[in-house]
Chain A
């Protein structure tokens, strides 16, 4: 299958799931039932940013589904394929929002799910000053947990903010990676749709710090491309939905570095099978330059460890 066909397959699958989920939710709860994320002023942030539409109740969703379906043209054209990637993002946001209808779906998950506004505001200053030089989004399940953990620790030492989606969360934890906002390693969730919560971070950064006007999608894409230094690392084989999510990332200006063979596009989508080189490849792909003064001490030193609490061994 060609790359565009893969993207469309994923986007169509997500569109179908979204449509079904919206229908089911309305049948169950009625059109007037409230839908949204906790602790945010931006409704469903991706949809709000892209269209200016404020989704407040389930009855608002079918129109959003119609918009996302209109974004999937199935035409062999890069611009259209990237739009289909954005449609997947919209679908993922709706699916995630519906999961919140019946309480916090992440209560029993190691992931945190939706990232509330105050967290984004607290990250704003270090992002602007370059104290956080980049945002790494890690996705999937690694064939080699030790090298995965090394990658996460490397990002941590370099001060990057790392978001994780999928079984890599447990894999990294088992290999001794400490997680939490204070450590700048944030587990989002296990469903691929939970990756939307990091997209939502980038989008709200544009809303909050870039003061981009809701509805001006082009301006958002320019802001994220130029101002949000994010990139994606995928681990393990890619399915169509992940490829489609990747297209959404590329539309936002974020390069995707996979550890499996993909149709490569210099600077946007590439294969780096060697995990020892994943970090450098990713930083170069996103033009993130880090000046590191290595202090030769027997522990890791980085601003990411500033919030660390020291406890007695029990």
Chain B
């Protein structure tokens, strides 16, 4: 059987056929079993925040029930549901970040949690105003900085420290709109409060509070997650890797790392190199231990260690169906609860490790940062021992993989830009000036961040790949994170050779700077790197972010985290193009607010466009309008 949602995936057809032969169920079977999804939920007009409900109101104004029992109309219900999605997303990113900072608080010279980018730590300590940031003893400073970062989640007064990275104009807008996020957890809590029965009903106010919480994610939780991960695990540098299910190796012990939190993934990578475990693997007839990544935890270890990318969100089941996976090790976020049952159909061990995401059905080995290496050793050992149980007759690995270059942190991008700076000019090193110059000169027309998930409402990866290819063809440089980055990786867009697919200007830039036209900037929390980069360009040119010819795009988004990301990108002044329409169409007013009204507040809007080609045309009009306004 071929699945029409998988037409553009070269690995899918054989594996879906195998799934049928093996009698296992996949997300596409479950999607079909859902039949037609509920129109009230789809329109966002179903409310079940109290026990008087569930209420559903008519998505068509003037027809049917116009108010819920409490009197909430479609606008209120849609807005509450939407900002609760933001809260869900912001909480996921922020809790992720909190774990990273906790690990840093545990850091010691003996490890396993060490300070690996001391310069970055001192830079951020100075940015946050710690005295003697450049001379204090490393771990004393680490612990002080970690404590300060933990305060960001629940401090009683003040706003997020990283906000000052934004251009002054943007900070002024946030102040005017009362959108400066205070403590991260507070913003999430206050959304849950405002959306309780009988609280806020004003859609402008609800969205405003939602955006504030999302800013607490982008410029708070996610940014802390990224920056502190870099301090602990090293700031990513350009590195070679490979992508797609073909990286699974029939002759090795295959471990899939899936989830988000690098705390676990990093120590698993260390344990997979343990000589005793390698010896054990060999004694069982394996050539070695092959750790491959999936989703964002995959991105984290790809960015820092070049760990191969097995696939993105929708491929998590396909990986197991290859029959060659000894263990899927997961932590938190975007892990199908369907995986344990699927794993049991094969010899695969499904190991959930986080108390926050205990997934019933197979193994649970709790990961504790205080005993990290032993934990990881135990988990990897379980995987290695499981090699003996593999049934070679059930193994079928698609022979598809593409070379990939990842590791483009802001620091690495700037390092590359430094190489084209003429040392005789006044230009300083360590800035984004060469990038802002080529944008202003029109060598490249603009920049786009393409991010987000996969969604069975649309053909998998097609939206990502189409948007990216069409943009680079039009001389728009693309930065990618998350599953969008992995979609690009799987079709070979993250290579130097991909410059041949670009317009003349972007091709020149790629050649001179020696970069691919599509830059993998990391996981979903690493969308904060994009905020940082865009802010630097805006500050360099003395304009606000909303003045720059820059767009955001989430062609196949799915999660609440994506809603939070889209919201903080819009609130930061960047028009954001959504390929999946959020569940808001039941309220004309709220839809209008997202698509147009919010422009008056933050200078950017959410654009809904399902067709990736049409979306790209709209983005280009947007980019050219920004250029005209700037006179460039």
Taking the nearest CB of chain A, how far is it from the CB of B475, in angstroms? 6
Taking the nearest CB of chain A, how far is it from the CB of B622, in angstroms? 14
User: How many Å lie between the Cα of A4 and that of B505 in the bound state?
Assistant: 12
Taking the nearest CB of chain A, how far is it from the CB of B29, in angstroms? 47
Contact of B441 among A82, A263, A284 (CB under 8 A): A263
Asked if B512 and A266 make an inter-chain contact with CB atoms under 8 angstroms apart, the answer reads yes
Please give me the residue from chain B that is nearest to A4 by CB atom. Answer: B442
Please give me the residue from chain A that is nearest to B620 by CB atom. Answer: A76
In addition to A78-B475, A266-B417, A266-B420, 5 A-B residue pairs with Cβ atoms within 8 Å of each other are: A2-B442, A76-B445, A77-B504, A264-B437, A267-B420
Asked if B504 and A285 make an inter-chain contact with CB atoms under 8 angstroms apart, the answer reads no
Taking the nearest CB of chain B, how far is it from the CB of A134, in angstroms? 15
Asked if B442 and A78 make an inter-chain contact with CB atoms under 8 angstroms apart, the answer reads yes
Asked if B434 and A266 make an inter-chain contact with CB atoms under 8 angstroms apart, the answer reads yes
Contact of A280 among B424, B444, B627 (CB under 8 A): B424
User: How many Å lie between the Cα of A59 and that of B433 in the bound state?
Assistant: 50
The reply on A277 being an interface residue by CB < 8 A is yes
Taking the nearest CB of chain B, how far is it from the CB of A61, in angstroms? 28
Taking the nearest CB of chain A, how far is it from the CB of B573, in angstroms? 22
User: How many Å lie between the Cα of A218 and that of B422 in the bound state?
Assistant: 27
| Residues 432-483 of B at the A interface (beta carbon under 8 Å) | 433-434, 437-438, 440-445, 475
Contact of B475 among A77, A82, A265 (CB under 8 A): A77
The reply on B99 being an interface residue by CB < 8 A is no
Taking the nearest CB of chain A, how far is it from the CB of B191, in angstroms? 42
Asked if A76 and B504 make an inter-chain contact with CB atoms under 8 angstroms apart, the answer reads no
The reply on B357 being an interface residue by CB < 8 A is no
The reply on A169 being an interface residue by CB < 8 A is no
For the complex, count residues of B whose C-beta is within 8 A of A.
27
Please give me the residue from chain A that is nearest to B445 by CB atom. Answer: A76
A270 to chain B: which residues have CB within 8 Å? 422, 425
Asked if B442 and A281 make an inter-chain contact with CB atoms under 8 angstroms apart, the answer reads no
| Residues 399-442 of B at the A interface (beta carbon under 8 Å) | 417, 420-425, 433-434, 437-438, 440-442
Asked if A2 and B632 make an inter-chain contact with CB atoms under 8 angstroms apart, the answer reads yes
User: How many Å lie between the Cα of A78 and that of B507 in the bound state?
Assistant: 10
The reply on A269 being an interface residue by CB < 8 A is yes
Please give me the residue from chain A that is nearest to B513 by CB atom. Answer: A266
Taking the nearest CB of chain A, how far is it from the CB of B472, in angstroms? 13
* Count of A-B contacts judged by CB separation below 8 Å: 74
User: How many Å lie between the Cα of A110 and that of B434 in the bound state?
Assistant: 40
A79 to chain B: which residues have CB within 8 Å? 503-505
Task: Identify the interface centre among B417, B442, B504, B624: most chain A CB within 10 Å of its CB.
Answer: B442
User: How many Å lie between the Cα of A196 and that of B489 in the bound state?
Assistant: 45
The reply on A95 being an interface residue by CB < 8 A is no
Contact of A77 among B422, B503, B512, B627 (CB under 8 A): B503
For the complex, count residues of A whose C-beta is within 8 A of B.
26
Interface string of A126-143 (1 = CB under 8 A from B): 000000000000000000
Asked if A284 and B508 make an inter-chain contact with CB atoms under 8 angstroms apart, the answer reads no
The reply on B158 being an interface residue by CB < 8 A is no
A264 to chain B: which residues have CB within 8 Å? 437, 441
The reply on A244 being an interface residue by CB < 8 A is no
| Residues 76-113 of A at the B interface (beta carbon under 8 Å) | 76-82
Asked if B441 and A265 make an inter-chain contact with CB atoms under 8 angstroms apart, the answer reads yes
The reply on A3 being an interface residue by CB < 8 A is yes
The reply on B62 being an interface residue by CB < 8 A is no
User: How many Å lie between the Cα of A268 and that of B422 in the bound state?
Assistant: 10
Task: Identify the interface centre among B444, B512, B632: most chain A CB within 10 Å of its CB.
Answer: B632
Interface string of A255-278 (1 = CB under 8 A from B): 000000001111111111000010
Interface string of A1-19 (1 = CB under 8 A from B): 1111000000000000000
Given contacts A2-B442, A263-B437, A281-B425, contact A78 B505 (CB under 8 A): yes
Asked if A266 and B437 make an inter-chain contact with CB atoms under 8 angstroms apart, the answer reads yes
| A–B complex contacts, Cβ < 8 Å, 24 sampled | A3-B632, A76-B442, A77-B475, A77-B503, A77-B504, A78-B475, A78-B504, A78-B508, A79-B505, A81-B442, A263-B437, A263-B440, A263-B442, A264-B441, A265-B438, A266-B417, A266-B420, A266-B422, A271-B425, A272-B422, A272-B425, A277-B425, A284-B422, A284-B424
Please give me the residue from chain B that is nearest to A2 by CB atom. Answer: B632
The reply on B64 being an interface residue by CB < 8 A is no
User: How many Å lie between the Cα of A197 and that of B65 in the bound state?
Assistant: 81
Taking the nearest CB of chain A, how far is it from the CB of B547, in angstroms? 15
The reply on B111 being an interface residue by CB < 8 A is no
| Residues 502-530 of B at the A interface (beta carbon under 8 Å) | 503-505, 508, 512
Asked if A2 and B631 make an inter-chain contact with CB atoms under 8 angstroms apart, the answer reads yes
Asked if A77 and B505 make an inter-chain contact with CB atoms under 8 angstroms apart, the answer reads yes
Taking the nearest CB of chain B, how far is it from the CB of A87, in angstroms? 15
B422 to chain A: which residues have CB within 8 Å? 266-267, 270, 272, 281, 284-285
User: How many Å lie between the Cα of A80 and that of B445 in the bound state?
Assistant: 13
B624 to chain A: which residues have CB within 8 Å? 76
A266 to chain B: which residues have CB within 8 Å? 417, 420-422, 433-434, 437-438, 512
User: How many Å lie between the Cα of A272 and that of B423 in the bound state?
Assistant: 11
Lowest 6 A-B CB distances belong to which pairs? Answer: A79-B504, A78-B505, A281-B424, A266-B434, A266-B420, A263-B441
